[in-house]
Amino acid sequence: MAISRLGEQKGNAMLFTISLVLVCIIIILALFDLCRVYIARETIKTVSDSIALAVAQELLYFRPENITDLAEDIASNNGCKLIGLHAGYDEVVVNVERQISVSVLGRIGLGSIKNISSSSRVKVLYPWDRRWGKCRYYEFGYKPY
């Protein structure tokens, strides 16, 4: 009777060990998915910042006619999609998106993480801005009679 009890305990310990190993593997794979999401987020943030700075530079050199093509080229070269681009006189706003696939997180209910997006905003300061102090400004006083 003691021998059969010992065999049952070995079987229970083996099942517990196997289930513990499987849980640890699932947790490690989920951490890899989270790391992949974080790396994709940092990459897409870099792409959106690059696009915003490139468009701002084009505005500084008075070449606004090809900024949309430039932004789409930079986004597509980095595996992203340009969602929005607003280039005003003194501000540029860029929205970029990238699709990502998660393996383990999708199976445990967090499969809604499919698109990662980033937004960047750049303020354009022209050389003749008063903050630089490089240009002379003349103010003409107008006084009605």
The whole-number average pLDDT for the span 87-107 is 84
On whether residue 145 sits in a domain, the answer given is: no
| Higher pLDDT among residues 10 and 116, named by residue | 116
On whether residue 130 sits in a domain, the answer given is: no
**What's the rounded Cα separation, in Å, for the pair 20 and 35?**
23
On whether residue 132 sits in a domain, the answer given is: no
Quick: pLDDT tens for 20-60.
999 998 888 888 888 888 998 999 999 999 999 999 999 88
33-48 residues labelled b (16+ CB within 10 A) or e (exposed): beebbeebeebbbebb
SS3 130: coil
Burial class of residue 51, CB neighbours in 10 A (0-12, 13-18, 19+) = buried
The token pair at 38 is 């974080």
Does the pLDDT at position 9 exceed 70?
A: no
On whether residue 141 sits in a domain, the answer given is: no
The structural domain count of the chain equals: 1
| Higher pLDDT among residues 145 and 2, named by residue | 145
By residue range, what is the domain housing residue 92?
A: 2-123
Whole-number mean pLDDT of the chain?
83
On whether residue 39 sits in a domain, the answer given is: yes
On whether residue 59 sits in a domain, the answer given is: yes
Give pLDDT, residue 8: 57
On whether residue 143 sits in a domain, the answer given is: no
Of residues 121, 112, 117, the one with CA closest to residue 87: 121
Does the pLDDT at position 138 exceed 80?
A: no
pTM of structure: 0.72
On whether residue 54 sits in a domain, the answer given is: yes
